[in-house]
Amino acid sequence: MDRSYLLEITAYIGVFVVLFLAFFLLTVKTKHRLTNWLLAFFLFSNAVDACKFLMRGFPVNFINLEAFRWSIVYLAPALFYLYVLSICFSNFRLKPKHLLHAIPFVAFNLYLMWEIYLEDRVMKLNFINTMNQAPTMQFFYFLFEFLFQVYFIASFLVIKKSRTVYLENYTTPNVSVLNALYKITVLYYALHFIVLLRWLITFIFGLGEIRQWIVILDGFAFLFCTCWYLFVALNKPYFFRGVDAQLKPIIDVVPRQKSALEINNEKNKQIESLKEFMVVKEPYLDSSLTIQDLAKQLKMPIKDLSALINLYINKHFFDFINEYRIEKAKEILKDPLQKELTILEILYQVGFNSKSSFNTSFKKHTGKTPTDFRNSPN
């Protein structure tokens, strides 16, 4: 089979899947409408860019349209970054200041208007034949690469921060979804690395055999990334609920040197009082328990409670609460009067809302699955 034909088939499938998923995200009824729309426009920008794989030559009859397609790439990294923010922070909203992200896209189109859009066909073709040597065009190439790196580094940092805040303040086991977002970010970064490789090969070897294979690899990588995202979306349709954007990691709230201090008598009393409250009142049975909820029950400032658990007890709030849930589950599993209860009933009873998360946490704390623990003689 001809390589260009194989690339076209791959691109057609990839573009169709991307557009289908984007259309679904734009039309589906959900409370996460902003997140879906940002993802849809990001996917659409990728589909427009992927149209390059469907061309065997330069579209001479559609020069303006092709030139506008070049500019779409200046929106993609910004859309992905905003999408990450909308997932990681539940109270994220688009504001007028976010229009600043569109400045490179607008600037590049103004440049194209001067050099291509408003020129006759001869001038358009002359510019296209020499544009790789034009200083302004080289500047925009550099600008795109710079923006891409900045946006994706920012995306990684946002994911890292939200995961830290999540573990320090929430207990609902949705970390796996956040991890999926991290993998998707890495995957799209890897896809861009292939694009960089193609540019490098073109610069060193020109339009030769090696570059053609890199282009084919790029096309297959685009299809793989698209299918992977569709797979994640189908398996995790509820995606991460997001943390409060006003919350900060405890290390940013409490002075760093405080964590190195020895636990004094006052802290010991607070820790013992907290542990007694957990045993007697069993607040962990609430599957939606947050550190704000627990602080309110204890009548303690949230910052003090967070420092007590994360710094002095040296555990994330997520792990601290789940340990009590696992201990409660162990009691029920070994209670002969409750042997009729199923594993699913038990996990809901102790505060979990996902079987996979319960099994993972249970094995982490006991080294056994809930079923094995129940059937063990000891």
Of 98, 79, 77, the residue nearest 39 (C-alpha): 79
Q: In angstroms, rounded to a whole number, what is the distance separating the alpha carbons of residues 377 and 153?
A: 51
The torsion of the CA quartet 153, 159, 162, 167, rounded to 10 degrees, works out to -130
Residue 233, judged by CB atoms within 10 A of its CB (0-12, 13-18, 19+), counts as middle
Each residue's pLDDT tens digit, 41-85: 988 988 888 887 777 667 777 889 989 999 998 999 999 999 889
DSSP 90: T
Q: In angstroms, rounded to a whole number, what is the distance separating the alpha carbons of residues 92 and 82?
A: 9
329 with 362: CB under 8 angstroms? yes
Say if pTM beats, i.e. exceeds, 0.85: no
Amino acid letter at 111?
A: Y
Q: In angstroms, rounded to a whole number, what is the distance separating the alpha carbons of residues 315 and 275?
A: 13
CA–CA–CA angle 329, 272, 353 (5° rounding): 25
Q: In angstroms, rounded to a whole number, what is the distance separating the alpha carbons of residues 217 and 188?
A: 14
* β-pair partners for 170: 290
Rg of the Cα atoms in the chain: 27
The torsion of the CA quartet 268, 271, 275, 278, rounded to 10 degrees, works out to 150
Q: What contacts 24+ positions apart, CB below 8 Å, involve 255-264?
A: 258/307, 258/311, 259/311, 263/312
Q: Within its chain, how far is the Cα of 203 from the centroid?
A: 33
25 with 36: CB under 8 angstroms? yes
pLDDT at site 254: 57
Report residue 152 as tokens: 């994706």
DSSP 290: B
Q: Which domains are delineated in the chain?
A: 3-235 (1.20.1070), 248-314 (no CATH), 315-378 (1.10.10.60)
| Cα atoms in the 13 Å half-sphere on the side-chain side of 43 | 27
Which residues contact residue 208 at a Cβ distance below 8 angstroms, ignoring those fewer than 6 apart?
none
| Cα atoms in the 13 Å half-sphere on the side-chain side of 284 | 26
| Tokens 């006052």 belong to residue | 266
What is the DSSP code string of 255-289? -GGGGGSPP-HHHHHHHHHHHHHHHHH-GGGSTT-
What residues in the chain have per-residue pLDDT under 50? 238-241, 256-261
Helix (H, G, I), strand (E, B) or coil at 243: strand
| Tokens 């001479």 belong to residue | 60
